[in-house]
Amino acid sequence: MAFEKIGIMSIGEMGFHWAKLLKGHGVEVLTYDKDRGEVSRKRGQNAGVVSLDSMTDLVDQADLIVSIVVPSAAIDVAKKVAEAVKTARRKDLIFLDANAISPMAAEEVGKNLEPAAVSFIDGCIIGSAAKMGKGTIVYVSGPDAKRMQVLERFNIPVKVLGASTSQASAFKVVYAGLTKGLQGLFCELLMGAQRFGLLQEIRAQYEESFPGLLEKVSSSIVGLNIHAGRRAEEMDELKRTFNHFGMRSFMAPAAQRVLEAIAALPRREASAGGERAGDLSDTLERFYEMGLLRNSPESQNS
């Protein structure tokens, strides 16, 4: 099946780059953004996305809907799509959940879509938004997962993990434990190095000991200016997944706390053009000046 019209919920940073890539391959990209903020709507306009008047219109016109939202919104999006499908009496819609959610949440997404006869595919995105079409991979699972291989026509690599409706989500949360864990760890250590007046020296030693590692993580650390809250949610998904399967998690809650501390700082404005402002040094300086990870007087006296 060829996908001529693809709906994206929603046009955040990742959705923006998906839309630009798909548009470049002749796909009409649709969304429903009446309940979204101004920046999200402007992103859609900048990417050439068609904004429809209702969710019913979206499910009626799209061949495929891709859900790319914060983890806490994933189930709600699935519920809204299911209700709209019933209203539109749509019979053959495909829904790809590409969110960083737990396998339990993925199962819940599937349960909400099942009564509406929507073909549910569990998925996840491995790689940065800016590298869509340049190496970022979409992993999928579920009985209909192979149908997503059509996306390779649009320069989106797709890898099928298996027939389970939650394998892709399990894959994502474990992978996210590494990427977000490194972001939190580097932030904490580099904040300490800056406090000791050794930031440049420790960065040089990291590079010597682990060539290229900090450079690979740097862009994601810059992205914490906007996305820290979302990434903290991912660590909560990982922690809950481990707990659900009878395992304790120590590292995920620690990374979550660092990310939540960054999320509590005043956010930089997201770009309507999808780019990230600043570099690693600028970001660390901003975090330091705003008091990230500093003890409060109360905690020092306790």
Same domain, 46 and 194: no
Average pLDDT score over the chain? 92
Claim: this prediction has a pTM higher than 0.75 = yes
Tell me the mean pLDDT in the region 192-220: 94
Same domain, 11 and 104: yes
* pLDDT value for 38: 85
Same domain, 118 and 24: yes
Same domain, 71 and 191: no
The DSSP secondary structure of 98-124, one letter per residue, reads -S---HHHHHHHHHHHGGGT-EEEEEE
Helix, strand or coil, per DSSP, at residue 94 = strand
**Contact of 11 with 35, CB cutoff 8 Å:** no
Which CATH number is 67's domain given?
3.40.50.720
**Contact of 105 with 241, CB cutoff 8 Å:** no
Determine the structural domain holding residue 244 and report its residue range.
170-294
Please give the order of strands across the beta sheet that includes 137-141: 50-51, 28-31, 5-9, 64-67, 94-97, 119-126, 137-141, 158-162
pLDDT digits (tens, 9 = 90+) for 54-94: 999 999 999 999 999 999 999 999 999 999 999 998 989 99
* pLDDT value for 40: 84
Instruction: Grade residue 300 by pLDDT with cuts at 50, 70 and 90.
Output: very low
How many Å apart are CA 221 and CA 45, to the nearest integer? 27
pLDDT of 299 above 60: no
pLDDT digits (tens, 9 = 90+) for 117-157: 999 999 999 999 989 999 999 999 999 999 999 999 999 99
How many residues make up the chain in this entry?
Answer: 302
